[in-house]
Amino acid sequence: MKNILIIEDDPSIVELVSIHLKDINCELTKAYNGFDGLELVKSNHYDVIILDIMLPDINGIEICKRIRADKNTTPIMMLTARSEEIDKIIGLETGADDYLTKPFSIREFIARVKALMRRNEMSIQEPIEAPKILKCHNLSMDTLKRKVILEDEIIELTPKEFDLLYLFMSNPGISYSRESLLNTVWGYEFSGYEHTVNSHINRLRTKIEPNLTNPKFILTTWGIGYRFTDEIK
C-alpha cells in the first residue's frame, strides 16, 4: 500500500481524492493547513505529496521550497484554483514534479498520481546490458543506487531530475524536443505544459553546471530542445 499525504484546506476535495485513492490501494494522510503538513513530512515517509498552493497559513510554494531545502525528494503534485501561467512556472521551479489546476478530472488526477508513484519506484527502465555507472568529465551517476556525484560531492536530485539526467547521460548527443521529454520522463501526454521541461532543466543545470551562462553538460539544441554533451573527455 502506498502512502499519500494531501495538504489541502478544502474538505470536499480531500474527501473526493481520498475515495479514489483508496480504489488504487493508497492510504491517505490529511493535513488542512501548511504547518501541520510540514510537520507530517518531517516525521513520516510518503510516496507522493499532494499540495495545494492556496492555504490559510503558509502557501504551497513556500512549503515546497522548505521540503526541497531539507533534501526531501518525495514527488510533489501541486493543486491550485489559479490558472495564471506564472503560478505554474513558479510552482515547478520550486521543486514540484507535477501541477493540476482546479477543477480537475479525477481520472487525470489518478493517472498522474500513478505516474509519479511509478517513476519514484522504478525510474526509467534501463536495458539489462546498460552500464550501472555513467560518467562524463567529473559527473557520475550510479543508476542502481540512484546517486549522482559531482566533484566528489553527492548531488541531491528529485525523481524527475534524476530521470531527466539519466535519459540524457544514457544518450549523449541525442537531441530531444520538450514534447518527447514530457512523454518519456513524465510517462504520458502533457499537452501545453512544455514549460515543465524548461523548469526542470533549469533546476538540474543549477545543480550540476559550473557555469550557467555556458552549460557544460546539458546543452540547448536551438529549434529542437535539449541534448547531453557527447564530448566526454
Report if pTM > 0.75: no
Predicted pLDDT of residue 140: 94
Predicted pLDDT of residue 188: 57
Predicted pLDDT of residue 144: 82
Sign, CA torsion 102/104/106/111: negative
> Which residues of the chain form beta strands (DSSP E)?
2-7, 26-31, 48-52, 76-80, 98-101, 133-136, 139-142, 147-150, 153-155, 176-177, 218-221, 225-228
Local structure of 93: helix, strand or coil: helix
Predicted pLDDT of residue 126: 47
Sites in the chain below the pLDDT cut of 50: 123-128
pLDDT digits (tens, 9 = 90+) for 45-86: 999 999 999 898 999 989 998 998 888 889 999 888 766 666
Domains, the chain, in order of start with CATH, read 2-122 (3.40.50.2300), 133-228 (1.10.10.10)
Grid coordinates belonging to 82: 489559479
